[in-house]
Every structure is written in structure tokens, then in C-alpha cells.
Amino acid sequence: MARAIVLRQLTNSPKSRLQLSRKLAERNVPEDVAEAVLDRFEEVRLVDDAEFADMWVRSRSQTRKLAKGALRRELADKGIDPEIAAGALDQLSDADEETAARELVERKLRGFTGGEDRAERDKVTRRLASMLARKGYQPSLAFRVVGEVLDAAAGQAGDGD
């Protein structure tokens, strides 16, 4: 029964060992049986936390544009060892992170022409920096990127006059 539960879980999407362990506990599988089944799945590499972490970081950084901080928290929630998580996060460079932040801000600013009004610019800056913070970006990077993108948008709006 435990094997069937694990196989069904892995069919839907890759899972960490802790996620599978929790699922087996939910289904009242005895702990010793769960551990034996999970050990066997690790032996045959159907459960591999390092591979799972690498895949998770690639996927979430591309689709959700999450920064390393947010990804680190997500991996911890899934029971990934901090050293394994650090190895997976190494595939993201600071430049990758900055590019993703810039793309998020530019996407949110499509059609934005404001910027002459200081209060409006401050409000937009706070809103965009908060959005980046929720995605795990450091405040210094968030405010710098938002400022640069707003300056570029204001410059383009001024060129059309």
C-alpha cells in the first residue's frame, strides 16, 4: 500500500522525501514501513531531494520570477536540507535575479506614463518594491531596479513630446 501511495504521488509531480513522508503519515502508514519504502525509492533514485531542489529552483525562478530568498524558504518548507538547497540556488546568479526583477517591474509598468508627479511616482515605487519583496528580493535591489525602470519609462515618455 505504501509503495502505491508513493508512486501515485510521484506520478503527479516530483516530491521531496519529507513531502512523501507526510503523505504516508496522513494515510496512517506505520513509520517504519514508510521509512523502508522511501529508502528503497531513494536507492533506485525515484526520490532524490537534490534533483528535486534543482528542478524546483529552475521552475519557480522562471515561471514565478522568485528570488533566492523566497526559493530558500520554499525548499525549507519541503524539507530540503539547507546544504542541498544552497547547491540548487547556486544555479541562479545575481545577474539572473536582477534580470528577473527588472522583467517583473517592466511587465507591471506597461503603459505607465506617470512619473512627473512625485507623489504618484513614490506610490508606484512603494507598490513595485513591495511586490518584489514578496517574491524574496532584497530591498536594496528592489528599490534600485524600480528606480531605474521608472527613470527609463519617464525618459521614453519624454521622448515622445
pLDDT in tens, 23-61: 999 999 999 999 999 999 999 999 999 999 999 999 999
- Would the pLDDT of 22 be above 80? yes
What radius of gyration, in Å, describes the C-alpha atoms of the chain?
21
Give mean pLDDT, residues 126-145: 95
How many whole angstroms separate alpha carbon 26 and alpha carbon 19?
A: 11
C-beta of residue 37 within 8 angstroms of C-beta of residue 7: no
DSSP output for 91-111: TS-HHHHHHHHHHHHHHHTTT
pTM to 2 decimal places: 0.82
In the structure, what pLDDT confidence band is assigned to residue 113 with cuts at 50, 70 and 90?
Answer: low
Model confidence pLDDT, tens digit, residues 145-161: 999 999 888 777 665 44
